Structure 1
Amino acid sequence: MVRAAVLTAIGSPLEITEIALPSPGPGRVRVRIAAAGVCHSDLSLANGTLRLPVPAVLGHEAAGTVVSVGEGVDALRPGDGVVLNWAPSCGRCHHCGLGEVWLCAQALSGAAGKHATTADGTVLHPGLNVAAFAEETVVDARCVLPAPEGVPLAEAALLGCAVLTGYGAVHRSARVRAGESVAVFGVGGVGLATVQAARIAGAAAIVAVDVSPAKEELARAAGATEFVLAGEGREVKEIRALTGGQGVDVAIECAGRAVAIRAAWDSTRRGGRTTVVGVGGIKDQVTFNALELFHSGRSLTGCVYGDSDPARDLPVLAEHVRAGRLDLGALVTRTVGLDGIEGAFEAMLRGEGGRALVRF
C-alpha cells in the first residue's frame, strides 16, 4: 500500500488515502516518485473543466526512481532515475505519422484504465496516465523517459510538463527569433518557463503580464524586461506604448482565459503571432470580427504540450539546465506534501506564485 491523493468525485477535495498498486505487468514500470509539480491542468481535471473518469489519482508532472519492471521492459532497471511522460505517442495514428506526436490520438487512452484500488476495493483511474500524486505509481513503459544527468530528480519533475510546454511554446510553436519582442500572459509555472525560454531564444524585449503585482519580482528574475499589470484592457495599451504603438512580435497566452487570449491578440503587432498555451473552459468564448482577422494579418495558434516531443526535447532542456541558462528552481515558489495539494490549488485560483512542488 502507498499513500496517494485521490479525487473521489468531480469538485470534491482530494482525499489522502492508501491505495494498492498492482505489480508491473508486461510492458509496465513501477516508479517511486521523488517530486510532482502541481499543474493548472490538475486543477482543471479536479473541477471538471477537463474530462476525467473518477475516482482517480491525479498528478502528471513528475520524476522518480524505477522500483521494478515488467516483462519486456529491457531499457530500464531498478534504481534508474526517470521523468514521467503523461502524453506518450502511439507511433501509429495519423498525427504521429506526420511527426506531430503531441497531438497523438491515443496519448490519453490509458487514463480510462484500471490503475489501483483503495482499501475497500474501489477501482481508481490514472489521471493523465501517470497518477503522480502518490508515493509510487505503475505506468506504461512509454510513459517513462531517462532522467537527464546532472539535474536533481526533484527539479527534473518540472521538465515533464511546465518546462516542455513553455520552452516548446517559444521555440517550437511561436518560433521566437533573436531580437523579437515577446509578451507572456500569465506568469505561473508555465508562464515563468515561457519567460525563461524567450530569454534563451534571444528576445530583445520580454513583457510579462499578470493580474497579480506580486508576480513582478518572479517575472523579472526569469528574464522579463517589463512587467504589466492586467485588467480592464490597460495591458494592451501599455504593451503598445512600450512598442512604439506597434504591438509585440509574439504574444503567448498561458492563463487559459478568454479575456487573456483576446488581450494577447490585441497586443500583437500586425503580421505577428499569437500562441495560446493555457487550457480554458468550453464555455469561455473568444470573439473576433471577420475584418480584423483579414486586416491584422496575425496568426492565432493553439499550442498543445508546447508542440514537444519529450524524447527529442528533454536532452535539449537538460543541456540548458546544465549550462545555467534554464533555472528550474526559480519556477518553484511552494513546496508541499500530499496534504498540501488542495492549498496549492487554492493559491493557484488566487493567482499566487509559480509552481508548487509535492516532495516525497
Structure 2
Amino acid sequence: MKTRAAVMTAPGKDWEITELDLAPPRAGEVLVRFTHAGLCYSDEHVRTGNMAPLPIIGGHEGSGIVEAVGEGVSRLAPGDHVAASFKPSCGHCRWCAGGRANLCDAAAYGPEGKLPDGTYRFTGPDGPIGANCALGTFAEHSVVSQDSLVRVDPDVPLSVVALVSCGVLTGWGAAVYAAEPRPGDTVIVVGAGGVGINAVQGARLAGAGDVVLVEPNEAKHALARDLGASHVCRDLAEAGALAARLNPGAGGADTTLVCTGETTAPIVRAAFEATGKGGTIVLAGMSEDVHDINVQLPGTQMVFAEKRLQGTIFGSCSPIRDVPRVLSLYRQGLIKLDELVSRTYTLDEINQGFADLRSGRNLRGVVAHRGAP
C-alpha cells in the first residue's frame, strides 16, 4: 500500500511530506492507521542528524487504530485502539522481567529506524527508509512490532492517548518513579514543556509539598500553577535560593528534575547547586548532541552532601502498566491532559508546528492525520 508521511531527508532541513510504499506486516507485526501524533522535542533533535540516520520518517509519539495483524500476533486485533510506545516491551528479557520495561532489549534497532528483525517496511524513491523509534507516527499508516503498542480503552479520545504515549509518561514517571518524592518534599522542575509540565503533575500527585517550576516563558506560568506548581521562577539560581528558604534543613530542593529540551552542562551544574543535602538530581531531558559531555560536577561536593545523579528514560515507566494507569488517573480527574494541547495541526502544517514548538508558543502540538476522529 501507499501512505503519506513526513520525512527528514538531511540535517537542518524541514520535514518533507511525501508518499511512500508500505509493505504488509510480518510475523509479530501490526499495521496501524495513526490518527494522531505528538510534536516532541526528540523529533526536533532528529533535524540535527545526531539522533538517527537520515533520511527517516519522523514521529515517536502517537495513537491509532489497528487495521491488520501479522502471524503470531497475540496482544492485538483489528479495530483495537492503541498508544504507540517508543520503548518496546517484549515481556521476557531481563529488563521486562525485572519490572524495568523502559530498558527492554527489543529497542536495540529503534534508533536506526528498523523493526526488531533488523529490516524496514517503508520504501521511498531511493530505497528502504526507517521510521523513528521503529514507529514513524508522522506517517498516516505504519507497520510496527506488537511490542511497541499498548491497547487502550476506546472511550478515551485518541488525541489524549497520543500525549500519554511519550511526553506525559516521561515527565510524570520521572517525578513518580525516578525522583520518588516523599510526602512534603521540596521539588524543583526545570522546564515547562511537555515533559516538565507533567513532572509537575507527577510530583504533586506523589505528595510533594512545594513544587517549584523554573520556566522563563511567562506564557506558561498560569497553566503550570493550575497543574500543581506552588511557585514559579524564571531561572535556576532564583529557584535554588527559594528552595533553600522553603527547605532549610536540606539547604535546597530534595529533588531537582531537569526536563529541558536542550540539557547543557551549565543547566546540570545549576541543578546540582539548587539541590540540597541528600538530594537527587534527575536528568529527564536530552542534549541536542546525544554524545555531548554535559555532566561536569564537583564530585567531592557530591560526596560531602551525599547527592545523587539519576538518569531516566521514558520516566522509568513500563508502557503496558503505566499507559492505562495514567489514562485512569485522567478519567478520575487526578491528572489533566486536555489542557496540554495548545494547537492541532494537519500533517501538511507540521513544519509550522515545530516552529511554534521552538519559539515557545506551544506547550504541546498535535498532528491530526486525515480521517482522525
Structure 2 length normalisation: TM-score?
0.90
Q: Is the 8 A contact 2:221 2:232 kept in 1?
A: yes
Other structure's SS at 1:349 match: helix
The alpha carbon displacement at 1:238 in A equals 3.7
Taking the aligned partners of 2:139 and 2:296, their CA distance within structure 1 comes to: 41
Question: Amino acid of the residue matched to residue 205 of structure 1?
Answer: D
- For the pair 1:116 / 2:122, whether they are aligned, the reply is yes
Question: Amino acid of the residue matched to residue 240 of structure 1?
Answer: A
Other structure's SS at 1:161 match: helix
Taking the aligned partners of 1:285 and 1:239, their CA distance within structure 2 comes to: 24
Other structure's SS at 2:23 match: coil
Other structure's SS at 1:117 match: strand
Q: Is the 8 A contact 1:257 1:278 kept in 2?
A: no
Q: Is the 8 A contact 1:211 1:351 kept in 2?
A: no
Q: Is the 8 A contact 2:186 2:243 kept in 1?
A: no
**Unpaired stretches in structure 1, ≥5 consecutive residues:** none
Q: Aligned pair in 2 of structure 1 residues 241, 334: CA closer, same or farther (>3 Å)?
A: farther
Taking the aligned partners of 1:96 and 1:227, their CA distance within structure 2 comes to: 37
Q: Which residue of 2 aligns with 1:258?
A: 265
Taking the aligned partners of 2:12 and 2:127, their CA distance within structure 1 comes to: 19
Question: Amino acid of the residue matched to residue 306 of structure 2?
Answer: G
Within 5 Å, which residues of 2 pair with 1:239-250? 239-244=243-248, 246-250=251-255
Taking the aligned partners of 2:311 and 2:333, their CA distance within structure 1 comes to: 30
- For the pair 1:45 / 2:51, whether they are aligned, the reply is no
Q: Is the 8 A contact 2:268 2:294 kept in 1?
A: no
Within 5 Å, which residues of 2 pair with 1:1-16? 1-16=2-17
Q: Aligned pair in 2 of structure 1 residues 183, 148: CA closer, same or farther (>3 Å)?
A: farther
The alpha carbon displacement at 1:350 in A equals 2.8
Instruction: Pick from 329, 337, 348 the counterpart of residue 320 of structure 1.
Output: 329
The alpha carbon displacement at 1:284 in A equals 4.8
The alpha carbon displacement at 1:141 in A equals 1.2
Q: Aligned pair in 2 of structure 1 residues 260, 330: CA closer, same or farther (>3 Å)?
A: farther
Instruction: Pick from 135, 157, 163 the counterpart of residue 162 of structure 2.
Output: 157
Q: Which residue of 2 aligns with 1:236?
A: 240
Taking the aligned partners of 1:319 and 1:96, their CA distance within structure 2 comes to: 22
The alpha carbon displacement at 1:60 in A equals 0.6
Question: Amino acid of the residue matched to residue 262 of structure 1?
Answer: R
Q: Which residue of 1 aligns with 2:285?
A: 278
Question: Amino acid of the residue matched to residue 16 of structure 2?
Answer: E
Q: Which residue of 2 aligns with 1:298?
A: 307
Q: Is the 8 A contact 2:91 2:97 kept in 1?
A: yes
Question: Amino acid of the residue matched to residue 342 of structure 1?
Answer: N
Q: Aligned pair in 2 of structure 1 residues 196, 290: CA closer, same or farther (>3 Å)?
A: closer
Q: Is the 8 A contact 2:212 2:233 kept in 1?
A: yes
Other structure's SS at 1:164 match: helix
Q: Which residue of 1 aligns with 2:145?
A: 140
Within 5 Å, which residues of 2 pair with 1:1-360? 1-50=2-51, 52-91=52-91, 93-110=93-110, 111-112=113-114, 113-118=119-124, 120=125, 122-230=127-235, 233-244=237-248, 246-255=251-260, 256-280=263-287, 281=289, 282-360=291-369
The alpha carbon displacement at 1:258 in A equals 2.5
Taking the aligned partners of 1:108 and 1:333, their CA distance within structure 2 comes to: 33
Taking the aligned partners of 2:92 and 2:82, their CA distance within structure 1 comes to: 24
Q: Is the 8 A contact 2:10 2:49 kept in 1?
A: no
The alpha carbon displacement at 1:214 in A equals 1.8
Q: Is the 8 A contact 1:222 1:330 kept in 2?
A: no
The alpha carbon displacement at 1:290 in A equals 2.9
Q: Aligned pair in 2 of structure 1 residues 359, 240: CA closer, same or farther (>3 Å)?
A: same
Could you list the per-position Cα deviations for residues 180-203 of structure 1 after superposition, in whole angstroms to 9, with x for gaps in the alignment? 111110100011111111121121
Q: Aligned pair in 2 of structure 1 residues 78, 305: CA closer, same or farther (>3 Å)?
A: same
Taking the aligned partners of 1:108 and 1:65, their CA distance within structure 2 comes to: 25
The alpha carbon displacement at 1:254 in A equals 0.3
Q: Is the 8 A contact 2:200 2:227 kept in 1?
A: yes
Q: Is the 8 A contact 1:207 1:226 kept in 2?
A: yes
Q: Is the 8 A contact 2:195 2:259 kept in 1?
A: yes
Aligned length: 357
Q: Aligned pair in 2 of structure 1 residues 240, 92: CA closer, same or farther (>3 Å)?
A: same
Could you list the per-position Cα deviations for residues 134-159 of structure 1 after superposition, in whole angstroms to 9, with x for gaps in the alignment? 11111111111101354211111111
Structure 1 length normalisation: TM-score?
0.93
The alpha carbon displacement at 1:46 in A equals 2.1
Question: Amino acid of the residue matched to residue 89 of structure 2?
Answer: S
Could you list the per-position Cα deviations for residues 231-289 of structure 1 after superposition, in whole angstroms to 9, with x for gaps in the alignment? 7x344334434444821211111002332222222111111111110012333533212
Q: Aligned pair in 2 of structure 1 residues 284, 211: CA closer, same or farther (>3 Å)?
A: farther
Identity of aligned residues (%): 36
